[in-house]
């Protein structure tokens, strides 16, 4: 039981490049989330998926797109990376609403030059 996994662990991009961050969970959770964490700040929600087949914007969705590929997988795509997107990205999952424990992946550290 791996919990929540993310790939890659670290990535360097040049401005304008695109990439997809992958997330998978094996806990049969319905809800999945993408957050970013900037230095000295709490996590900010980018997008979430309340259930398979649905996605919704969070607090900071601009510059990102997501895909809930199936119940297990939720990917985050940066179409044209900008230096302001340099951050640590965390994926999380929960059984249902946020009033359940969220389980986090190990994070992806992204540097955009």
Partner 1 sequence: GENVEQHPSTLSVQEGDSAVIKCTYSDSASNYFPWYKQELGKRPQLIIDIRSNVGEKKDQRIAVTLNKTAKHFSLHITETQPEDSAVYFCVVAGSNYQLIWGAGTKLIIKP
Q: Which spans of this chain sit near partner 1 (rule: CB under 8 A)?
A: 31, 33, 40-45, 48, 50, 56, 58-59, 90, 97-99, 101-102, 104-107
Backbone phi, then psi, for 63, in 5-degree steps?
95, 0
Residue number, 11 or 102, with CB nearest to partner 1? 102
Using only C-alpha atoms, the chain has a radius of gyration, in whole angstroms, of 13
* Dist. CA 8–CA 37, nearest whole Å: 16
- Rounded to a whole number of angstroms, the minimum distance from the CB of residue 67 to partner 1 is 17
Q: Which residue has the tokens 């550290």?
A: 109
Cβ 69 to partner 1 shortest distance, Å: 19
Least separation, in Å, of the C-beta of 18 and partner 1?
25
**Which C-beta is closer to partner 1: that of 33 or that of 64?**
33
Angstrom distance (rounded) from CA 63 to CA 57 = 11
DSSP label at 85? G
Q: CB of 4: closest distance to partner 1 in angstroms? A: 8
- If the CB atoms of residues 17 and 55 are measured against partner 1, the closer one turns out to be 55
In total, the chain counts a number of residues equal to: 113
């Amino acid at each position: 039981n791996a919990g929540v996994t993310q790939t890659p662990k670290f990535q360097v991009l040049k401005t304008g490049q695109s990439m997809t961050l992958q997330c998978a969970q094996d806990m049969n959770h319905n809800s999945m989330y993408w957050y970013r964490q900037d230095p000295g700040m709490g996590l900010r929600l980018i997008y979430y998926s309340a259930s398979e087949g649905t996605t919704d914007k969070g607090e900071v969705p601009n510059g990102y797109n997501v895909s809930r590929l199936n119940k297990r997988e939720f990917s985050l795509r940066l179409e044209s990376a900008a230096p302001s997107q340099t951050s640590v990205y965390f994926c999380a999952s929960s059984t249902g609403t946020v009033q359940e424990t969220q389980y986090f992946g190990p994070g992806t550290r992204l540097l955009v030059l």
